[in-house]
Amino acid sequence: MIDFFIGKKDKKIEDFAKGLGFSGILFVKEVSKLKQTTKEDKKNYDAFLIKTTTPELLRRMIDKISNYSLFILVLGTNDEINRVALEHKKVKALVSPEYARQKDFLHYRNSGLNQVLCKIARDNNKIIMINFNDFLLSKNEKRAIIIGRVMQNIKICNKYKTKIRIASFAMAKEEMRSFSDLKSFCIAIGMTNKEAERVFLFS
């Protein structure tokens, strides 16, 4: 049962996460430029979260980061990015495929996933990750829209047997939530109890 934290390795945060019911926590560095990544980051982080809207830059960043033997996560900023991330053998997970979407379509949500992408993710053993901090920091209508899109992604991932996971991605201790809180949230947005038990396994 693993959680994710945006920030440098910190023993106090690690101990706090264990007190919240997690067996461990991975520390993540969010990057959007090549120069933001160096091999020295191995000392302070367990993973990189790449944020870009340019597929070519994404590929270059993946190639550079893969030399550091850290987990590579990609933020789902647009359809092209989502596909590149799910097809690339060095990427571990696609985070928030619904990120920064504009209007929904007429008959379904603009959630960043479809049957083609879910099949690619399944066949390439990729993880789709729900970022709980997206909900925590949003309000009212925006929060409702995000929840609707994530609920749609849960359904389509389940239909095509695609791995889906959740993490707090907190940026401060105050934003961290317990294992039981996140599990209850997953059940509230459409997962069964058995499915909710699996969403903390980073594998």
Task: Decide if pLDDT at 101 tops 90.
Answer: no
- At 82-91, the pLDDT tens digits run 999 999 999 9
Number of domains observed in the structure of the chain:
1
Domain presence at residue 92: yes
Domain presence at residue 203: no
Domain presence at residue 8: yes
Nearest residue to 146 (alpha-carbon basis) of 183, 111, 196, 195 = 111
Domain presence at residue 55: yes
Task: Decide if pLDDT at 106 tops 60.
Answer: no
Q: What percent of the chain has pLDDT over 90?
A: 76
pTM of the model: 0.92
CATH number, domain at 155?
3.20.20.140
Residue range(s) defining the domain that contains residue 89: 2-198
Average pLDDT, the chain: 92
Domain presence at residue 173: yes
The tokens describing 75, both together, are 């933020």
- At 124-157, the pLDDT tens digits run 999 999 999 999 998 888 888 889 899 999 999 9
Domain presence at residue 137: yes
The tokens describing 112, both together, are 């960043």
Distance CA 66, CA 1 (A): 24
Domain presence at residue 68: yes
Domain presence at residue 165: yes
Distance CA 14, CA 89 (A): 29
